[in-house]
Copies of this chain bind each other. A is one copy, B any other.
């Protein structure tokens, strides 16, 4: 029956596309997490009343974040070609999509990080200051742990946005379910493929959401 319904679908292609989606999403997510935390911290710390209050650094970080959030993803991919070539050694395939995915998603996650950090109780930060903690200590032992549930929830949101981005990265032959659905399915009016790919994408989204929610709940000791 299954074979009947999806007569035109090549299973190995779908498996391959699923793998590519996972590969891109997970690697990009790691990169986004690191870069996003950095950006978010920088935004938070250099903001008015922050530990490193600095109008100019804040402005520059904000500009960076906003510029990369604003550029349409497809243009971003193309703009990053020289950088990608230098970094990854190729400008095609899943690996070539990673820099664009990370640089596209990190500013976005950075803002979520900033929002999460702003929700950390001021009193606790004050307590750490009163103990003579270095800013580094405050960051790693107060800000990040106390904001962790929100940071992880935000990462979940970002992961799912990244899955969406990978569809667009299809433009440079990175594969993945999204572009498979669009090019092999939608463009050729083969809605079985669109449907199947969509179902798999939704399942992946649920998987990420489930893991994210689980970790968030475990971490939240309030």
* Chain A residues in the interface with B (C-beta under 8 A): 48, 62-63, 66-67, 69-75, 78, 108, 111-112, 114-116, 118-119, 122, 149-150, 153-154, 156-157, 160-161, 163-164, 167-168, 178, 181-182, 186, 194, 198, 201-202, 204-206, 209, 217, 220, 222
Q: Is the CB–CB distance between B71 and A198 below 8 Å?
A: yes
CA of A70 to CA of B81 in the docked complex: distance in angstroms? Answer: 27
Q: Is the CB–CB distance between A72 and B202 below 8 Å?
A: no
Which residue on chain B has the smallest CB distance to residue A114?
B153
Residue in contact with A194 in the complex, picked from B48, B75, B153, B163, CB distance below 8 Å: B75
Chain B residues lying within 8 Å of A122, measured Cβ to Cβ, are 222
Chain B residues lying within 8 Å of A181, measured Cβ to Cβ, are 72, 75
Q: Is the CB–CB distance between B73 and A157 below 8 Å?
A: no
A163/B111 contact (C-beta < 8 A), A75-B182, A75-B198, A119-B150 known: no
CA of A122 to CA of B222 in the docked complex: distance in angstroms? Answer: 8
Q: Is the CB–CB distance between A70 and B222 below 8 Å?
A: no
Chain B residues lying within 8 Å of A72, measured Cβ to Cβ, are 164, 167-168, 178, 181-182
Show 12 A/B contacts (Cβ-Cβ < 8 Å), sorted by A: A63-B206, A66-B205, A70-B204, A71-B201, A72-B168, A74-B182, A108-B157, A111-B156, A111-B157, A114-B153, A115-B154, A118-B153
